[in-house]
């Protein structure tokens, strides 16, 4: 788990919630946390890999990631939070310079 | 407390409901016309048109389903919401009645009891509201216009304490359109009795956002049902406290969920709900003068059901004549069915007979009560009813 | 957090993220991307209501919320009515609603919940003039229940209740023009948008915020699961829907039509371009494609005329 994601401390703070006794439940069905504790990265079959040498920092991939799982690093290049990336391939399909390739993920 | 000086007004049951909503300072009213409810929402619209209310948003929705949906949206946001309907309209709302209760929203609604079609009928019949029995709403049946007024104001307090919606039920025409004196409470005193709502949650805390009603798996759904069931249990106590407080402040005590008279020396009692119990009360007093040892038990709150109070009544009498202005097809009168269920575990079980009366507005008179009293005497002598369910008015 | 300051100003859509990852939309889901954009446009001071649809799941199963905004889950056909209730309550409680700094009330419903079962509540909502924004994300079928047709399903599409077969072949009705029904209410602002053009969508959302009264946006949202399309093609398909004029982007504002895309100066791409990646269209015969093309041409001509006459 890395802090350098779109969600920073929020990701750090996210926890799975499982209530064990009736007293722990809220009176009404209101939410108690965010989905950030749910790592959807294990859905992936193909993994996007970014080649910084080809990247022109247009952020189109960032714009179109539906999770979102793409963040922008301090150096301006894009990073992928593999905890959430589902491997849909949209980023690779939309990247104008083919800087992202989808590779079969070894698990 | 400021001294209570009632304001007496001669109003219909519907106007009593509208005044009560106004005095309860409702913030959102979303409603749709249907006979015989319409004059409630017309009156509320008039209050707005005349500048008699402040900060009341009136949403003229396109259906009852949307009326309840809009009340749900308003109540979830944090406002005090009110609506009114009847029969077909209530049936159309059904899905959203579950929603209001499941989201724990203390909406108050007046239902004017009206028979379900077909055949078309606009007259009194309790099957519409009783068919909503399992939606998680509380239900209060008013006997007269005063109880409609008092009921709406109390219902807000009870509902907002336990976070469960409440339905105040009145009879078509017999109450809705019949004028009677109603003692209204001055606004300052209603305010004292019913402070602004303190919601369980709102949708306006933007720094700590929540979702309400998301998909719960079998691992969690069950617990939320239990919470709602518990809230109804707690409501039994809250209703008594609120009814008592109302009595202390305004002289009309509602601490009994079943209003009863002559139980201690009655051979048998009449049990029923709503306006027909007004007729029964009158008849009982008359018949007692003629030597009948009878009493009455008017069930005010049908949900939560006053189990303890009923068991206590049952322990004191030999028979109960249950009058149902409603019917559950394939079974029997709904109150009868409920009462039997409650008394199964009672130590003493009185003889019970179910009289199906007044469906679709069929007249139910003092004379009918006398005839039923005659019949009940025989039932008690025999120790069992000739028939369990008696279609009393049937043209034979 | 995540995005360096110097990069932020170079981005074409707002940097701030109010849509949490970890949600359970399928890979490449257009609806989830749409929600992400709405949150970018409106931020946290927003109350959503979402009826039964895929977004019920996307927004998080209890006890989680995917949105960093308040959300009331509601019944399938009630979006417009619940929005009305929320807006009325906010006003009664003294909140400023809509406008530059007011609370945003957003209804986010699927095509089934809008074109079909929720049409009545939508109509009531539009007619009563509530200050709120209704967004219909259009994935052209009932996806949450497993890909059944809706009024918004196009001609020739396979769904699980318009399957192929000897007697009955695919969806035989053209897509219901919900936007036209909306415009018939003379709303202050209605627009179509696409997840392939987020800048345009967000601009429209921001405009909807400023214009008093009800606004409606129909957002084209590809669904790889229901469209039998590759998950990486969602944006491309949405773009082609616009470029073929199958789903043109336009605005209706104060009685005036304005076409945003595709260009009215040149021929749109042929409809086959839109169909090509989608398995749901693979059963279409040549004649079917022709029928669909005719419909697209007709609707496109109609829209161009409207923009010409009421531009
Ligand atoms: C009254 C009612 N009828 C049927 C359903 C079942 N149902 C839930 S979602 C859905 C389809 C939703 O389709 P759409 O609005 O297009 O949203 P999508 O799932 O495609 O995103 C249906 C039929 C329901 N929840 N309520
Ligand atoms: S789309 Fe390609 S070029 Fe643009 S930022 Fe992403 S990786 Fe770099
Ligand atoms: S593959 Fe899909 S989920 Fe993963 S980073 Fe790319 S766009 Fe996002
Ligand atoms: S079925 Fe379609 S709309 Fe629903 S979550 Fe999956 S991709 Fe999104
Ligand atoms: Mg759909």
User: Which position has the higher pLDDT, A3 or B309?
Assistant: B309
> Which residue of chain C is at minimal alpha-carbon distance from A6?
C2
Residue B368, H or E segment = helix B366-382
Among A22, A25, A31, beta carbon nearest to B214: A31
Q: Quick one: pLDDT at residue B284?
A: 98
Mean pLDDT value across residues B328-347: 97
All structural domains of chain A with their residue ranges: 8-104
Q: Quick one: pLDDT at residue C1?
A: 55
Q: Quick one: pLDDT at residue B1?
A: 67
Mean pLDDT value across residues C84-93: 98
C-beta atoms of B73 and C59 within 8 A = no
Residue C251, H or E segment = strand C249-253
Nearest CA residue ID for atom 4, ligand 4: C54
Among B102, B227, B231, beta carbon nearest to A25: B227
Q: Quick one: pLDDT at residue A4?
A: 54
Mean pLDDT value across residues A67-73: 96
Residue-wise DSSP of A38-94: --GGGG-SEEEEE-TTT-----HHHHH-SS--EEE-TTS-EEE-TTT-----HHHHH
C-beta atoms of C89 and B28 within 8 A = yes
Tell me which of A51, A52, A59 to substitute to probe ligand 2's pocket, judged by most ligand atoms within 8 Å of the beta carbon.
Answer: A59
Collect all residues of chain C within an 8 Å Cβ-Cβ radius of residue A93.
232-233, 235-236
Q: Note the pLDDT tens digit of each residue in B143-177.
A: 999 999 999 999 999 999 999 999 999 999 999 99
- Where does the pLDDT of residue B348 fall: very low under 50, low under 70, confident under 90, or very high at 90 and above? confident
Of C128, C129, C76, C71, the residue nearest C105 (C-alpha)? C71
All structural domains of chain B with their residue ranges: 7-250, 258-390
Residue-wise DSSP of C40-56: HHH-SSEEEEE-SSHHH
Distance CA B345, CA B318 (A): 16
Instruction: Determine the Cα angle at B80 with ends B74 and B82, to 5°.
Output: 85
User: Quick check: C260 pLDDT over 60?
Assistant: yes
User: Quick check: C263 pLDDT over 50?
Assistant: yes
Among B104, B216, B220, beta carbon nearest to A27: B104
Among A40, A74, A90, beta carbon nearest to C4: A74
Cβ atoms within 10 Å of B188's Cβ, excluding its own:
10
Distance CA B133, CA B333 (A): 13
C-beta atoms of A29 and B201 within 8 A = no
Tokens at residue C284, please? Answer: 């279409």
User: Quick check: B140 pLDDT over 90?
Assistant: yes
In B290-333, alpha helices (H): 307-316
| B308 reaches C (C-beta below 8 A) | no
Q: Assign domain A8-104 one CATH number from 3.40.50.300, 3.30.70.20, 3.10.105.10, 3.40.50.720.
A: 3.30.70.20
Fold of B258-390: Rossmann fold (3.40.50)
| B280 reaches C (C-beta below 8 A) | no
Q: Note the pLDDT tens digit of each residue in B44-80.
A: 999 999 999 999 999 999 999 999 999 999 999 999 9
Probe site for chain A from C3, C5, C6, C22 (most A CB atoms < 10 A)? C22
Does the ipTM surpass 0.90? Answer: yes
Q: How many CA atoms lie within 13 A of B26 on its CB side?
A: 32
User: Quick check: A2 pLDDT over 50?
Assistant: no
| B215 reaches A (C-beta below 8 A) | no
Query: 0.95 exceeded by the pTM?
Result: yes
Tell me which of C27, C143, C145, C150 to substitute to probe ligand 4's pocket, judged by most ligand atoms within 8 Å of the beta carbon.
Answer: C143
What's the CA-to-centroid distance between C55 and ligand 4, angstroms?
8
Q: Quick one: pLDDT at residue A1?
A: 41
Is C5-309 a CATH 3.40.50.970 domain? Answer: yes
Structural domain B7-250, CATH architecture: 3-Layer(aba) Sandwich (3.40)
Collect all residues of chain A within an 8 Å Cβ-Cβ radius of residue B224.
25, 28-29
């Amino acid at each position: 788990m890395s802090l350098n994601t779109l969600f920073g401390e929020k990701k750090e703070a996210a926890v799975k919630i499982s209530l064990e006794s009736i007293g722990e439940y809220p009176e009404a069905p209101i939410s108690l946390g965010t989905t950030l504790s749910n790592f959807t990265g294990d859905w992936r079959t193909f993994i996007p890999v970014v080649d910084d040498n080809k990247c022109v920092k247009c952020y189109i991939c960032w714009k179109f990631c539906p999770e979102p799982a793409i963040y922008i690093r301090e150096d301006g290049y894009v990073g992928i939070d593999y905890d959430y990336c589902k491997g849909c391939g949209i980023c690779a399909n939309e990247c104008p310079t083919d800087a992202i390739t989808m590779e079969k993920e070894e698990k | 407390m400021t001294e209570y000086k009632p304001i007496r007004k001669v109003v219909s049951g519907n106007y009593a409901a509208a005044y009560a909503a106004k005095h309860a300072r409702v913030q959102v009213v979303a409603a749709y016309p249907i006979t015989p409810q319409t004059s409630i929402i017309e009156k509320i619209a008039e209050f707005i048109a005349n500048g008699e209310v402040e900060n009341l948003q009136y949403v003229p929705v396109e259906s009852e389903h949307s009326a309840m949906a809009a009340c749900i949206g308003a109540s979830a946001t944090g406002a005090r919401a009110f609506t009114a309907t009847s029969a077909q309209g209530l049936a159309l709302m059904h899905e959203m009645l579950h929603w209001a209760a499941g989201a724990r929203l203390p909406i108050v609604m007046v239902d004017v009891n009206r028979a379900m079609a077909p055949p078309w009928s606009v007259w009194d019949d309790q099957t519409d509201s009783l068919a909503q029995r399992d939606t998680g709403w509380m239900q209060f049946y008013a006997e007269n216009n005063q109880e409609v007024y008092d009921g709406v104001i109390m219902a807000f307090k009870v509902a907002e304490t336990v976070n469960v919606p409440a339905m105040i039920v009145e009879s078509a025409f017999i109450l809705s359109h019949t004028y009677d004196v109603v003692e209204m409470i001055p606004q300052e005193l209603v305010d004292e009795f019913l402070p602004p709502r303190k919601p369980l949650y709102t949708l306006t805390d933007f720094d700590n956002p929540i979702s309400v009603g998301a998909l719960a798996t079998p691992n969690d759904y069950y617990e939320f049902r239990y919470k709602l069931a518990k809230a109804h249990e707690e409501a039994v106590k809250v209703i008594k406290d609120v009814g008592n407080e109302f009595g202390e402040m305004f002289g009309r005590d509602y601490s009994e969920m079943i209003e009863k008279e002559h139980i201690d020396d009655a051979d048998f009692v009449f049990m029923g709900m709503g306006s027909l119990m007004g007729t029964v009360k009158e008849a009982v007093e008359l018949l007692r003068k003629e030597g009948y040892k009878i009493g009455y038990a008017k069930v005010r709150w049908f949900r939560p059901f006053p189990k303890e109070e009923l068991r206590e009544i049952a322990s004191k009498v030999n028979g109960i004549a249950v009058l149902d202005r409603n019917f559950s097809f394939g079974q029997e009168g709904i109150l009868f069915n409920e009462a039997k269920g409650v008394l199964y575990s009672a130590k003493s079980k009185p003889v019970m007979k179910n009289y199906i009366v007044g469906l679709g507005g069929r007249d139910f008179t003092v004379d009918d009560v006398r005839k039923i009293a005659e019949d009940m005497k025989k039932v008690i002598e025999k120790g069992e009813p000739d028939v369990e369910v008696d279609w009393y008015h049937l043209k034979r | 957090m995540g995005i360096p300051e110097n990069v932020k100003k170079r981005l074409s859509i707002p940097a701030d993220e109010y849509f949490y990852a970890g949600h359970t939309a399928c890979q490449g889901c257009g609806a989830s991307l749409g929600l992400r954009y709405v949150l970018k446009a409106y931020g946290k001071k927003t109350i959503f209501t979402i009826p039964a649809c895929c977004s019920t799941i996307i927004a998080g199963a209890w006890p989680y919320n995917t949105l960093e905004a308040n959300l009331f889950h509601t019944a399938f056909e009630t979006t417009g009515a619940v929005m009305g209730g929320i807006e009325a309550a906010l006003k009664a409680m003294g909140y400023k609603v809509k406008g530059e700094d007011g609370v945003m009330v957003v209804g986010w419903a699927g095509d089934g919940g809008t074109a079909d079962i929720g049409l009545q509540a939508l109509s009531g909502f539009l007619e009563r003039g509530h200050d709120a924004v209704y967004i219909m994300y259009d994935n052209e079928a009932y996806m949450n229940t497993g890909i059944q047709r809706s009024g918004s399903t196009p001609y020739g599409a396979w769904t699980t209740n318009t399957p192929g077969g000897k007697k009955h072949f695919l969806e035989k009705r053209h897509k219901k023009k919900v936007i036209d029904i909306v415009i018939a209410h003379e709303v202050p602002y209605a627009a179509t948008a696409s997840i392939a053009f987020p800048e345009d969508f967000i601009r429209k959302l921001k405009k909807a915020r400023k214009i008093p009264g009800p606004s409606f946006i129909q957002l084209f949202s590809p669904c790889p699961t229901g469209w039998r399309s590759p998950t990486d093609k969602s944006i491309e398909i949405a773009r082609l829907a616009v470029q073929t004029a199958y789903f043109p982007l336009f605005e209706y504002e104060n009685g005036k039509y304005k076409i945003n895309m595709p260009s009215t100066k040149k021929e749109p791409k042929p409809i086959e371009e839109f169909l090509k990646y989608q398995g749901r269209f693979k059963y279409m015969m040549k004649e079917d494609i022709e029928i669909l093309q005719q419909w697209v041409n007709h609707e496109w001509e109609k829209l161009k005329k409207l923009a010409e006459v009421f531009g």
